[in-house]
């Protein structure tokens, strides 16, 4: 897990490259490397050493001929199996997954992408042909941002790094508008900043002679539609469990200490149960969880129940309300874009705690709800993207009427015949997973830790989405097949407990302990260059109503605070 960046185009990049590497040094404090092809390209790398800790695995990394130079962020989990396949065609000199990825590219070109199981964003400069090739993993776990003008092509792991080069920091009004009025965080190629795009998940790009070509390499819809249908439930359960164990086994490969992020729910139970099966003994692996001291939201009773079974050391991390103002500003700096409120702040403290204890890799349960229909709205065929509210959290009246007219409802593709599969597809590639992965990448890397998400192994996701609805939803509960697998390990009391959304007392804190912080941030909006987007009188009235008890949803309040933290 690292930071990558680079320029392509004529120019002197040494000073700019040094500044950029400093800006995202938190992504990789173990080594900083650069490469220059004078007059053509420059690349930089911030390394967080996870596999092969030796200096021979430092980046930028070159192949034996010196023709290809790569900067790589992520992990190739099946690198040992790939290495065994490639060793007759390539003479390996390190034990790193970095060299395996570059070797696969040297032999198979972009065809190597179908061979790898991992999370990645990488760029390879062809010194001979003066071309750049870059790719991003299937679900976009690792970031890749870029800016292009007539003179150059710039890429990096974080948006702030590109802004450091002098690219104008102006908001993308369309993306912000859909965020406020539809709850969207942008299309797969968009960001909240004008001129800066992201390489969509499962895509690659080629840049040569000033021309950019972007193309999809991973066709999720085709793979799901053409996957052999398993109609026997017991067979599906066995196949799914074997894949889950294998996924966790692969993601436990590391040359540094690993840990678990856990809550009190089914997904964490599955993670610990399957890790115990795959690793035989995980009792010495530390687990981390957060709490806020509010028993209406905290999951410590269920967390303690799990820990009692597996005996892992448990680090409990508390978020208090008085930490929020300063922490919110700090995390806004790392995020570059709007993020998910107090749960993200609480979660960031988990990574900080792990980092202080020397745990560099954390496994997390993200992705199970989307692949096995865990959300309530999957059962109702509702296209809502917000849970737990009884009226719309989007407040159109808080904005300038003429401005708001520009933003109609966001329409997402529906490539499947099944409404359920279309909802899952939307959440995997357009809504829940893209934003959660971005939130979590930034807060993990802010504290130089690596987050791994075994439930987003593409084999599991494809299988989960392709399963019959009855294998996923039963008796008004989602994730049925996982519940039955976990029941064999931890019992029905955890396996069949209702879903508890990961929450904090955000609604209560914003209106009580944090009302001064909120009022200060709302006031800042009036002095921005973009105050004409808003109806400030309506915002003031909405805030007063919120303080008076109309706080069934706090999403719209946090949206405004997010904007102020980033723009004012």
Per-residue pLDDT of 68-109, as tens digits, reads 999 999 999 999 999 999 999 999 999 999 999 999 999 999
**Are 2-218 and 230-388+408-495 in the same CATH fold?**
no
> So what's the pLDDT on residue 264?
82
CA–CA distance, 27 with 47 (Å, rounded to integer): 7
pLDDT-derived band at 556 (thresholds 50, 70, 90) equals very high
Question: Is the predicted pLDDT of residue 498 greater than 90, yes or no?
Answer: no
Residue 557 has pLDDT above 60, yes or no: yes
Q: How confident is the model at residue 387 (pLDDT cuts 50, 70, 90)?
A: low
Q: Which residues contact 364 (CB under 8 A, 6 or more apart)?
A: 260, 261, 271, 440, 451, 452, 453
Q: Pick the closest to residue 139 from 194, 73, 218, 198 (CA basis).
A: 218
What's residue 500's pLDDT? Answer: 58
Is pLDDT above 80 for 279? no
Share of the chain above pLDDT 70, in %: 95
Instruction: Yes or no: say if 265 and 472 are a contact pair by the CB < 8 Å rule.
Output: no
Domain range 230-388+408-495, CATH architecture? 3-Layer(aba) Sandwich (3.40)
Sign of CA dihedral 452, 456, 457, 458: negative
> pLDDT class for 499, splitting at 50, 70, 90?
low
pLDDT band at 366 (very low <50, low <70, confident <90, very high): very high
CA distances from 555 to 234, 258, 347, 510, 538 (A): 41, 34, 18, 11, 16
Tokens 């000199």 correspond to what residue?
Answer: 93
Q: Under 8 Å CB-to-CB from 123, ≥6 apart: which residues? A: 4, 6, 43, 70, 71, 132, 133, 134, 144, 155
- Residues sharing a CB contact under 8 Å with residue 310, sequence separation 6 or more, in sequence order: 272, 276, 282, 283
Average pLDDT (176-191) is: 96
pLDDT of residue 273: 84
Whole-number Å distance between alpha carbons of 424 and 439: 20
pLDDT digits (tens, 9 = 90+) for 54-66: 999 999 999 999 9
pLDDT at 150: 87
Q: How many CA atoms lie within 13 A of 39 on its CB side?
A: 0
User: What is the SS3 string spanning 338-398?
Assistant: CCCCHHHHHHHHHHHHHHHCCCCEEECCCCHHHHCCCCHHHHHCCCCCCCCCCCCCCCHHH
Q: In whole angstroms, what is the distance from residue 38 CA to residue 112 CA?
A: 28
Residues 6+ apart with CB under 8 A from 41: 6, 7, 8, 9, 125, 130, 132
Q: What is the pLDDT of residue 311?
A: 84
State residue 380's pLDDT score. 81
C-alpha–C-alpha distance, residues 547 and 482, integer Å: 41
How far is 14 from 38, CA to CA, in rounded Å?
A: 10
Helices marked H in 397-504 = 401-404, 419-429, 432-446, 458-466, 469-472, 480-490, 492-495
Interstrand relation of 118-126 and 131-136 (parallel, antiparallel or unpaired): antiparallel
CA 328, 332, 335, 337: dihedral to nearest 10 degrees? 120
Q: Is the pLDDT of residue 502 over 60?
A: no
pLDDT confidence band for 491 (50 / 70 / 90): low
Instruction: Answer with the residue of higher pLDDT: 162 or 301.
Output: 162
Give the pairing of strands 2-8 and 41-47.
Answer: antiparallel
Which letter, b or e, does each residue of 121-138 get, where b requires 16 or more Cβ atoms within 10 Å of its Cβ? bbbbbbbeeebbbbbbbb
pLDDT at 253 over 80: yes
pLDDT > 60? residue 138: yes
287-300 mean pLDDT: 93
The answer on pLDDT for 362 being more than 90 is yes
Mean pLDDT for the chain overall: 93
2 in catalytic set: yes
Task: Give the pLDDT score at 390.
Answer: 61
Tell me the pLDDT band of 388, cut-offs 50, 70 and 90: low
pLDDT of residue 386: 64
Contacts of 10 (CB under 8 A, 6+ apart): 39, 40, 151, 152
| Residue 11 pLDDT level (bands cut at 50, 70, 90) | confident
Residues in the chain, how many?
A: 568
Q: How far apart are CA 153 and CA 133, in angstroms?
A: 12
Q: Answer whether 8's CB lies under 8 Å from 41's CB.
A: yes
Q: Does 568 score more than 80 pLDDT?
A: no
Q: What pLDDT is stored for residue 553 in this prediction?
A: 87
CA distances from 62 to 71, 103, 124 (A): 9, 10, 9
Q: What is the pLDDT of residue 306?
A: 84
Q: What is the mean pLDDT of residues 130-158?
A: 96
pLDDT at 126 over 80: yes
Is a pLDDT exceeding 80 seen at residue 495? Answer: no
> Does the structure show a pLDDT above 60 at 300?
yes
Q: Whole-prediction pTM value?
A: 0.95
pLDDT value at residue 545: 95
Q: How many CB atoms lie within 10 A of CB 61?
A: 23
More confident residue, 268 or 191: 191
| Higher pLDDT, residue 303 or 458 | 458
Surface-to-core class of residue 427, CB atoms within 10 Å of its CB (0-12 exposed, 13-18 middle, 19+ buried): buried
Q: Is the pLDDT of residue 465 over 70?
A: yes
CA angle 295, 322, 297 (to 5 degrees): 15
Contact 236, 276 (CB under 8 A): no
| Confidence category of residue 307, pLDDT binned at 50, 70, 90 | confident
Closest CA to 13 of 39, 32, 33: 39
- Would you place residue 490 in the very low, low, confident or very high pLDDT band (cuts 50, 70, 90)? low
- pLDDT given for residue 393 in this prediction: 76
Identify the CATH assignment for 2-218 out of 3.40.190.170, 3.60.20.10, 3.20.20.70, 3.10.450.40.
3.60.20.10
Question: Above 60 in pLDDT, residue 49?
Answer: yes
User: If you average pLDDT over residues 382-398, what whole number do you get?
Assistant: 73
* Sequence spans of domains, the chain: 2-218, 230-388+408-495, 507-567
pLDDT at 128 over 90: yes
Dist. CA 266–CA 482, nearest whole Å: 8
The reply to whether 376 sits in an annotated binding site is no
Mean pLDDT of 436-443: 97
| Strand, helix or coil for residue 520 | helix
| pLDDT of 107 | 97
Q: How confident is the model at residue 204 (pLDDT cuts 50, 70, 90)?
A: very high
Helix 97-108 to helix 79-86 angle (10° resolution) is 50
The SS3 of residue 75 is strand
Which tokens in the block code for residue 120? 């990645």
**End-to-end CA, the chain:** 32
The alpha-carbon radius of gyration of the chain (Å, integer) is 23
| pLDDT over 60 (residue 385) | yes
Question: Which is more confidently placed, 269 or 547?
Answer: 547
Residues 390-416 have a mean pLDDT of 90
């Amino acid at each position: 897990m690292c930071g990558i960046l680079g320029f392509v185009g004529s120019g002197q990049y040494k000073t700019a490259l040094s500044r950029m590497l400093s800006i995202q040094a938190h992504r990789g404090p173990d080594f900083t490397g650069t490469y220059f092809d004078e007059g053509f390209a420059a690349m930089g790398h911030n390394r967080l050493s996870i596999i092969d800790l030796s200096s021979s695995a430092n980046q930028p990394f070159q192949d034996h001929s010196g023709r290809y130079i790569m900067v790589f962020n992520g992990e190739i989990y099946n690198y040992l199996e790939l290495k065994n396949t490639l060793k007759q065609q390539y003479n390996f000199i390190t034990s790193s997954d970095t060299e395996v990825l570059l070797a696969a590219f040297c032999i198979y070109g972009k065809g190597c992408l179908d061979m790898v199981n991992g999370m990645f964003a990488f760029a390879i400069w062809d010194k001979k042909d003066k071309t750049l090739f870059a790719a991003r993993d299937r679900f976009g776990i690792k970031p890749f941002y870029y800016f292009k003008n007539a003179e150059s092509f710039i890429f990096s792991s974080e948006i702030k790094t590109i802004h450091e080069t002098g690219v104008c920091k102006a908001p993308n009004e369309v993306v912000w508008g859909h965020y406020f009025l539809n709850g969207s965080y942008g299309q797969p190629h968009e960001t909240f900043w004008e001129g800066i795009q992201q390489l969509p998940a499962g895509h690659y790009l080629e840049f040569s002679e000033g021309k950019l070509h972007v193309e999809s390499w991973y066709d999720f819809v085709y793979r799901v539609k053409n996957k052999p249908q398993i109609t026997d439930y017991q067979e599906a359960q066995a196949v799914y469990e074997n894949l889950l164990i294998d996924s966790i086994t692969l993601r436990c490969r590391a040359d540094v200490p690993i840990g678990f992020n856990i809550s009190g729910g089914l997904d964490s139970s599955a993670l610990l149960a399957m890790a115990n099966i795959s690793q035989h003994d995980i009792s010495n692996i530390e687990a981390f969880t957060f709490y806020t001291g509010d028993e209406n939201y905290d999951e410590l009773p269920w967390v303690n129940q799990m820990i009692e079974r597996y005996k892992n050391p448990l680090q409990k991390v508390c978020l208090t309300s008085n930490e929020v103002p300063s922490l919110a500003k700090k995390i806004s700096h790392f995020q570059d874009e709007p993020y998910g409120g107090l749960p993200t702040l609480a979660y960031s403290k988990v990574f900080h705690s792990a980092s202080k204890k020397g745990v560099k890799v954390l496994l997390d349960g993200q992705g199970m709800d989307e692949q096995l229909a865990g959300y309530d709205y999957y059962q109702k065929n509702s296209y809502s993207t917000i849970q737990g509210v009884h009226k719309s959290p989007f407040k159109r009246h808080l904005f300038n009427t003429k401005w708001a007219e520009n933003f109609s409802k966001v329409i997402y593709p529906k490539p499947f015949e099944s409404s359920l599969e279309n909802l899952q597809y939307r959440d995997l590639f357009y809504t829940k997973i893209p934003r959660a992965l971005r939130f979590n990448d930034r807060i993990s890397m802010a504290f130089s830790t690596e987050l791994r998400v075994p439930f987003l192994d593409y084999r599991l996701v494809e299988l989960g989405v392709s399963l019959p609805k009855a294998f996923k939803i039963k008796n008004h509960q989602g994730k049925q097949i996982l519940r039955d697998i976990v029941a064999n390990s931890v019992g029905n009391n955890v396996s069949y407990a209702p879903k508890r959304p990961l929450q904090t007392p955000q609604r209560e804190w914003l209106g009580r302990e944090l009302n001064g912080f909120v009022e200060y941030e709302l006031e800042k909006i009036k002095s921005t260059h973009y105050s004409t987007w808003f109806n400030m009188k309506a915002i003031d009235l909405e805030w007063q109503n919120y303080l008076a008890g109309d706080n069934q949803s706090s999403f719209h309040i946090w949206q405004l605070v997010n904007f102020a933290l980033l723009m004012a």
